[in-house]
Amino acid sequence: MKQKLVQAAMDMRNHAHAPYSNYRVGAAVETESGEIIGGCNVESSSYGLTCCAERVALFRALAEGHTSFNALAVATENGGSPCGACRQVIWDLCKEILVHICDKNGLLKTFSSSELLPDAFDDSHLK
Ligand code: THU
């Protein structure tokens, strides 16, 4: 299953809309039921409106009715790891999951989401 998730993230790089940075990012999330849903980065000419691949994958999964996730993979040319904003959204929507980080050749390393965002702020602070 991990290999399928990694491959899906790598394949999603082909859908990246990255005319400004030319940095193509693919992501894929595995739902509780084992479904794999992909996303890619989508850039805007107003650069700050860009949405990262991880968030596109997660928002797409939510929009399709999924609310619980097992793992997420992100793939870039050179093994870049999720930005700070995505780390927060991954924690908010997935809590503790595995995050696989890949370069153009495949899986490089795996972290837990709490390793990526230690001592996170979340909904528990709002109750
Ligand atoms: N990017 C992602 O898609 N995910 C990340 O976690 C880091 C950055 C995208 C945003 C932008 O389109 C490009 O990579 C360069 O920053």
Q: State the average pLDDT for the chain.
A: 98
- Which active-site residues does the annotation give? 54
For the chain, which residues make up each domain, given as ranges?
Answer: 2-119
What is the position in ligand 1's atom list of the atom closest to the CA of 80?
7
Render pLDDT for 83-94 as a digit per residue (tens, 0 to 9): 999 999 999 999
Which CATH number, 3.90.1150.10, 3.40.140.10, 3.40.50.300, 3.90.650.10, labels domain 2-119?
Answer: 3.40.140.10
**pLDDT of 16 over the 90 cut:** yes
Q: Name the percent of the chain lying above pLDDT 90.
A: 98
Q: Please give the distance, rounded to the nearest whole angstrom, from the Cα atom of residue 65 to the centre of ligand 1.
A: 25
Measured CA angle at 66 (ends 85, 102), to 5 deg: 50
Alpha helices in 14-103 (DSSP H): 53-63, 84-94
Strands 106-112 and 98-103: antiparallel
- For residue 27, the SS3 value is strand
Q: What is the pLDDT of residue 127?
A: 82
pLDDT given for residue 91 in this prediction: 98
